Every structure is written in structure tokens, then in C-alpha cells.
């Protein structure tokens, strides 16, 4: 390994000076930042970790608990996870944003941090300060399909059409009602459904949307369906009638394919987050129930990639075996891109292994190394610093030292992976 105060540190410092576009988050632009320290520490990464150490879910999920009381209960378990990178994120946020320089939050000191941070977060300038400190210029959102896309600066917070409800929950009356309400189209069949989806894309692109996104389970098979076969199924669905499991899957495949067609027509990249099983641990804390397995193969997506050569597919996977497959598909398919390090793979050891493979094998124009996936702005900084540190080490070891690249050339590669490709793929000017 490269010693401290070295080449890697110089590269890291330079990478930190590059302002970024965050191309995938769950930020609410009407409430983008934390209001209290509890908003940080009750993020599901922490509640699920301490729950796994023995904290009963009910300890922090009682409906009558205040934010401060929830935090007081969680603090007692925090030392059990102080070895994790997620805990280091907490400490970095406390150091950078709240001038807290002790080794840990403890039952003895947390309240003073809570009170002082609450005052800082209440400032009118806090949002801008967090973005500037984090070095982030634009933030992509994941907007519900019926989001009016109003009330915020779409130059700072970029709309992105999230499609999960349309693909997987169209049988729910409330989803059907939302679709008809937002489009003013009475959906009855394939024809009117296609009109409604086109209306959504018109709405989103007219408000500056730059992407479409969906999270797909491991067994989802995206294939083309004949509209005349799906028409009677959609008619039944919108009449409130039940479909068989195979019929529901056929409708899901049809809806997904229509979305891909619209991405092609409206020139939107289609972000695919592949491989999540929902509610594996049904007694888990809120948002701490979902996991993955090894079933997913990009071979399932071959028809999709071949059918839409002009649609850019930034793809996120959750295991290193899937990453090897993503490397190969990005190697061959012009429309397949490596996209970030997501969720359970967003740990330095996994990032290091997966990122080295991508940088060594995939064209440099085909990679977007980082997105935050955050729900609140404050988390972008430690997540980005973690990735930048790994990237700096890779550039130092594998390019400057091993291949005799200049530092400037290595930095140019880092900038391309961190920023330039995001601008190009998502058409950011």
C-alpha cells in the first residue's frame, strides 16, 4: 500500500476539488436536508445495523416517540457498530458540519451535539452550505410519476421519472387513480395506457427531466410483449378484476417495454437498479427488510439491450460476480454503462475490487463511478469522500506507479469517471 502523505493523498485532494453532479438520490427537494441529528442517526443504515445487534425494532419505531427520544434510545447501541464504515460516515458528518472532534457520540455527549447541530440546520443558508461543502452542483431526484415537479429549482434538483409503481403496482386502484389524475386520460386499454405514459414523459421532459429509473427484482425478465395479447389483460386490470400470476408478469413486462420505448423516443437514459428482493426480513426495521441473492444475470436483459441500441442503460448491481458480468456487457454493448456502487456493495473493500475491474477493462467513457443514493444531503459528503479515496488509491497504484502515467493524466481519468461521463450520458450542459 502507498504510505500516508503520498501520491494517493495528492490525487485525493485534487479529486475533491472537482465539483460533482450526483446522478441518483432519493432527496425530497422540498425538504432536502436534515433538521436534527436524529435525521442522520435514524437513517435505515443505522437502525438496521443496531437492530441486527439486538436492539428490538419497537425501541425506536413506537409512533409516539419524538426525534430526540428515538436518538436517545439508539445512542445506547451505537458503540456496537463503531467498526463499520457507516459509523465513520456519522463521525465525518459531525466533524465537518458540526465541529465535533471527539472519538464517538456517547450517552454523555450526544445531547450537546444534538442541540448545536439543530441550530445550524435551522439556518436559511444550511442547504447551500451543505452542497458547497460537499462539492455538489446538481442533484438528481427519483420522482414519483405523478409528481407535479413544482416548488423547487430544477437546475439544482434535476427531475428523474421513477417507474416502480407503474411496472409492479399497476393493479392497485390507487396507482391507477393517480395515473388517470395526473394525465387526465381515462385508461381502459393498451391504446389509452400508451397515451398516458407518453403524457408522463412529456410532463417530465418539459420540466427538465434527465433520466428514467426503476429497481428490478432478480427474477424480472424484460421481454417484448405483443400489444394485442396484453390489451384484454389491461382492460381487466383497469376494471378491477384479478389477474393470474403469469398474466400480471406479462403486464409488467409490457409496461416496462413501453417505458423503454419512451426513453428511446424522448432520449432519456434508463437507470436500472438490478437485483433486490423486497421484504426478505419481514420483521426488520423500516427500510431494513430488503436483500439480494445471486440469481440475477444480465443475460436476462439481452433482448432489451439489443432492441434499444439508442437508449443508454446505466446499470447498478449488488455483487462482485454481477459486477464482472456488468464489466463484460459494458465491454461489448455500446448502450450499457457501469453506474455507481450501490447499497450493500457501497463498502470500500467491495468498491475497490469492483472499481479496479471496471477501470482496467471498460472504456473510460462507459463508467460513472459514483452516486450517493441519499435521502438527505448531508450523507453525500462522507459517501463521496469514501469513493474518492478508493479511486485515488486505484489511480495511484494501477496507473501512476504501475503504468507510469503522469499525475495529470491520472487526474483526467478520475475527472472523466467522476463528472464528465455524467454530463455526457445525461446530457447536462
Statement: residue 74 has pLDDT above 90: yes
Tell me how far apart the alpha carbons of residues 67 and 81 are, in angstroms, rounded to a whole number: 21
Tell me how far apart the alpha carbons of residues 171 and 252 are, in angstroms, rounded to a whole number: 10
pLDDT of res. 334: 98
Statement: residue 1 has pLDDT above 60: no
CB of 105 closer than 8 Å to CB of 398: no
Question: In the block, which residue shows the cell 437492530?
Answer: 51
Mean pLDDT over residues 96-105, rounded?
A: 96
pLDDT of res. 123: 97
pLDDT digits (tens, 9 = 90+) for 257-266: 999 999 999 9
For the chain, the distance separating the N- and C-terminal CA atoms, rounded to the nearest angstrom, is 38
Mean pLDDT over residues 254-281, rounded?
A: 97
Angle, CA 366 vertex, CA 164 and CA 269 arms, to 5°: 30
pLDDT of res. 389: 98
Statement: residue 344 has pLDDT above 70: yes
pLDDT digits (tens, 9 = 90+) for 13-67: 999 999 999 999 999 999 999 999 999 999 999 999 999 999 999 988 988 889 8
Q: Which of helix, strand or coil describes residue 123?
A: coil
pLDDT of res. 418: 98
Confidence of residue 134 (pLDDT cuts 50, 70, 90): very high
Mean pLDDT of the chain: 96
Confidence of residue 296 (pLDDT cuts 50, 70, 90): confident
401 CB-contact burial (10 Å; exposed 0-12 / middle 13-18 / buried 19+): middle
Mean pLDDT over residues 154-181, rounded?
A: 97
In the chain, the percentage of residues whose pLDDT exceeds 90 is 95
pLDDT of res. 396: 98
Tell me how far apart the alpha carbons of residues 188 and 196 are, in angstroms, rounded to a whole number: 10
Confidence of residue 285 (pLDDT cuts 50, 70, 90): very high
Statement: residue 4 has pLDDT above 50: no
Confidence of residue 267 (pLDDT cuts 50, 70, 90): very high
- In degrees and rounded to multiples of 5, residue 157 shows phi and psi of -110, 105
Statement: residue 248 has pLDDT above 90: yes
pLDDT of res. 5: 60
Statement: residue 317 has pLDDT above 50: yes
Residue 342's nearest CA partner among 274, 270, 425, 418 is 274
pLDDT digits (tens, 9 = 90+) for 359-394: 999 999 999 999 999 999 999 999 999 999 999 999
Mean pLDDT over residues 228-246, rounded?
A: 97
Tell me how far apart the alpha carbons of residues 422 and 338 are, in angstroms, rounded to a whole number: 11
pLDDT of res. 3: 54
Amino acid at each position: 500500500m502507498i504510505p500516508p502523505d503520498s501520491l494517493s493523498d495528492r490525487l485525493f485532494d485534487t479529486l475533491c476539488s472537482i465539483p460533482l453532479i450526483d446522478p441518483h438520490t432519493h432527496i425530497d427537494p422540498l425538504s432536502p436536508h436534515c433538521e436534527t441529528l436524529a435525521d442522520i442517526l435514524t437513517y435505515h443504515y443505522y437502525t438496521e445495523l443496531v437492530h441486527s445487534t439486538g436492539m428490538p425494532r419497537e425501541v425506536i419505531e413506537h409512533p409516539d416517540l419524538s426525534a430526540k427520544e428515538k436518538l436517545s434510545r439508539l445512542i445506547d447501541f451505537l458503540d456496537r457498530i463503531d467498526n463499520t464504515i457507516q459509523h465513520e460516515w456519522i463521525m465525518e458528518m459531525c466533524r465537518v458540519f458540526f465541529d465535533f472532534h471527539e472519538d464517538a457520540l456517547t450517552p454523555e455527549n450526544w445531547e450537546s451535539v444534538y442541540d448545536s447541530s439543530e441550530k445550524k440546520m435551522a439556518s436559511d443558508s444550511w442547504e447551500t452550505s451543505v452542497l458547497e461543502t460537499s462539492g455538489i452542483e446538481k442533484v438528481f431526484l427519483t420522482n414519483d410519476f405523478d409528481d407535479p415537479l413544482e416548488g423547487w429549482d430544477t437546475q439544482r434538483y434535476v427531475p428523474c421519472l421513477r417507474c416502480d409503481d407503474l411496472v409492479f403496482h399497476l393493479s392497485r386502484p390507487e396507482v391507477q387513480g393517480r395515473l388517470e389524475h395526473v394525465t387526465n386520460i381515462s385508461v381502459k386499454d393498451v391504446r389509452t395506457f400508451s397515451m398516458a405514459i407518453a403524457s408522463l414523459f412529456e410532463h417530465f421532459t418539459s420540466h427538465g427531466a434527465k433520466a428514467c429509473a426503476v429497481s428490478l427484482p432478480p427474477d424480472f425478465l424484460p421481454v417484448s410483449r405483443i400489444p394485442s395479447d396484453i390489451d384484454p389483460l389491461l382492460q381487466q386490470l383497469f376494471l378491477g378484476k384479478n389477474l393470474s400470476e403469469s398474466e400480471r408478469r406479462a403486464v409488467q413486462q409490457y409496461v416496462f417495454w413501453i417505458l423503454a420505448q419512451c426513453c428511446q423516443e424522448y432520449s432519456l437514459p434508463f437507470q436500472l437498479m438490478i437485483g433486490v428482493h423486497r421484504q426478505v426480513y419481514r420483521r426488520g426495521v423500516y427500510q431494513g427488510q430488503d436483500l439480494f441473492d445471486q440469481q440475477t444475470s444480465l443475460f436476462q436483459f439481452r433482448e432489451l439491450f439489443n432492441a434499444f441500441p439508442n437508449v443508454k442503460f446505466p446499470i447498478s448491481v449488488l455483487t462482485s460476480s454481477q459486477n464482472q458480468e456488468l464489466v463484460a456487457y459494458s465491454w461489448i454493448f455500446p448502450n450499457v454503462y457501469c453506474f455507481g456502487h450501490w447499497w450493500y456493495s457501497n463498502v470500500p473493500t467491495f468498491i475497490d475490487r469492483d472499481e479496479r475491474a471496471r477501470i482496467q477493462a471498460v472504456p473510460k467513457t462507459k463508467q460513472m463511478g459514483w452516486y450517493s443514493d441519499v435521502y438527505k444531503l448531508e450523507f453525500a459528503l462522507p459517501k463521496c469522500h469514501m469513493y474518492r479515496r478508493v479511486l485515488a488509491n486505484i489511480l495511484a497504484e494501477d496507473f501512476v506507479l504501475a503504468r507510469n502515467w503522469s499525475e495529470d493524466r491520472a487526474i483526467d481519468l478520475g475527472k472523466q469517471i467522476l463528472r464528465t461521463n455524467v454530463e455526457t450520458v445525461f446530457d447536462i450542459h
